[in-house]
Amino acid sequence: MLTSDINKNELFLGIDGGGTKCKAIVVNRDNAILGTGISGPGNPLHGFEQAANSIEESAKLALADAGLQHIALHEIPAGVGLAGVNLPVLYKQMNEWLHPFKEMYLATDLLIACLGAHQGEYGAVMITGTGSCGFAHVDDDVFMLGGHGFPHGDKGSGAWTGFQAAKQVLLSLDQLIPATALTPKLLAHLKVNNAVEMVEVIAGKPAAFFAEFARDVYEAARAGDDIARAIVQEGAGYISQLARKLLTKNPPRISLIGGLTPVITPWLDADVQETLSAPLSPPEMGSVIYARQQQAKQSKIS
Site for its own copies, rule CB under 8 A: 87, 145-146, 148-149, 151-153, 155, 163, 166-167, 170-171, 174-176, 195-196, 199, 202-203, 238, 241-242, 245
Q: Considering beta carbons, is residue 170 or 181 the nearer one to its own copies? A: 170
Residues facing 254 on adjacent strands: 124, 276
CB of 202 to its own copies, least distance (A): 6
CB of 40 to its own copies, least distance (A): 22
Q: Considering beta carbons, is residue 195 or 276 the nearer one to its own copies? A: 195
Q: Considering beta carbons, is residue 33 or 110 the nearer one to its own copies? A: 110
Q: Considering beta carbons, is residue 58 or 240 the nearer one to its own copies? A: 240
8-state DSSP, 268: S
Helix (H, G, I), strand (E, B) or coil at 105: strand
CB of 196 to its own copies, least distance (A): 8
CB of 37 to its own copies, least distance (A): 31
Q: Considering beta carbons, is residue 100 or 153 the nearer one to its own copies? A: 153
- Find the helix packing angle between 158-173 and 214-222, rounded to 10°: 70
Let me know the angle formed at the C-alpha of 135 by 261 and 105, rounded to the nearest 5 degrees: 105
Residues 17-41 as b or e (16 or more Cβ within 10 Å = b): bbbeebbbbbbbeebebbbebbbeb
Residues in the chain: 302
CB of 20 to its own copies, least distance (A): 18
Side chain identity at residue 157, one-letter code: S
Instruction: Return the closest-CA partner of residue 103 out of 283, 301, 290.
Output: 290
